[in-house]
Amino acid sequence: MRRVTLTQFLIEQQRAGRTSPDLRLLIEVVARAVKAIAVNVSKGALADLLGEAGTDNIQGEAQKKLDVIANEILLQANEWGGHLAAMASEEVEEVHQIPFDYPKGGYLLLFDPLDGSSNIDVNISVGTIFSVLRFPEGIKEPTEECFLQPGREQVAAGYALYGPSTLLILTVGNGVHGFTLDREMGSFVYTHPFMTVPVDTQEYAINASNARHWESPVQRYVGELQQGRTGPRGKDFNMRWVASMVADVHRVLTRGGIFMYPLDEKCRDQGGKLRLMYEANPMAMIVEQAGGSATTGRQRILDVQPEKLHQRVPVILGSTHEVERVTAYHLES
């Protein structure tokens, strides 16, 4: 059986007119950075990489040592290639400019370098999320305003999952495709073509510890699921929660389900828990490309107009029938 690598896959996408040469090379650079992050994640305590770094990120959250390392790996890997006009990281307040002695390109890269980093010290799966936008024409120097494009303008999105195997899940607007890192060969191999989210499901993912803070539409929806086959849904549901968005969404992508981090009283003043530009938009693009749906409970995530770089939003995504149901409950209320 012929093994197709990520590079071969991207070249074929380029020949079909679905990617540009620069976008192909940009994705390959991100993939190389992912491999470097995977090596660091796998070492853990052997390289003294567990625990906190002693600093906070722009969100006011304590950074893990691997948060800082993953962020630096992605910045340094993508600075010099000439594909980017600028970058933005969830860990850093300001836009990261390309050094003056490197050429600039026509794309913008946003990323969450290590999603779910609270799981690092207990050896549970974490990941990297990234999003690619076009640099607006007619602008010489990139600013924060250049990044404030709705998610439907993304030209590519993906995530890496650092689990028993390292996976890279990618869309360039032509379905969702998965690649597994062959550690001996050092290359990503095409293993999951045209991934799809089943329309129906019997699994849901939500942080149940926040149940007392949920809005009434979410309490109504989860309450129906918990009643199981004796309730209005007429079937049993299982709850799963990893506390790593990459891991939770990957499960939804591979076997169906619904992932929710809704608006509640704890995060209402912030507008939500998850970041629109670094988490919600790329994951929404992936899920929609896989046949699922993604909303804030009130509108399609990819239609949200960003107002600031680190904006937060509620997130409800996954199997279409379930997302439509809980969204309808929000709109009714």
From the annotation, which residues make up the binding site?
Answer: 90, 112, 114-118, 207, 273, 279
What's the 3-state SS for the chain?
CCCCEHHHHHHHHHHCCCCCHHHHHHHHHHHHHHHHHHHHHHHHHHHCCCCEEEEECCCCCEEEHHHHHHHHHHHHHHHCCCCEEEEEECCCCCCEECCCCCCCCCEEEEEEEEECHHHHHHCCCEEEEEEEEECCCCCCCCCHHHHCCCHHHCCEEEEEEECCCEEEEEECCCCCEEEEEECCCCEEEEEECCCCCCCCCCEEEECHHHHHHECHHHHHHHHHHHHHHHCCCCCCCEECCCCCHHHHHHHHHHHCCEEEECCECCCHHHCCCEEHHHHHHHHHHHHHHCCCEEECCCCEHHHCCCCCCCCEECEEEECHHHHHHHHHHHHHC
152, two tokens = 């439907």
Q: Which residues contact 153 (CB under 8 A, 6 or more apart)?
A: 133, 134
Q: Which residues make up each annotated binding site for substrate?
A: 115-118, 207, 273
Q: Which residues make up each annotated binding site for Mg(2+)?
A: 90, 112, 114-115, 279
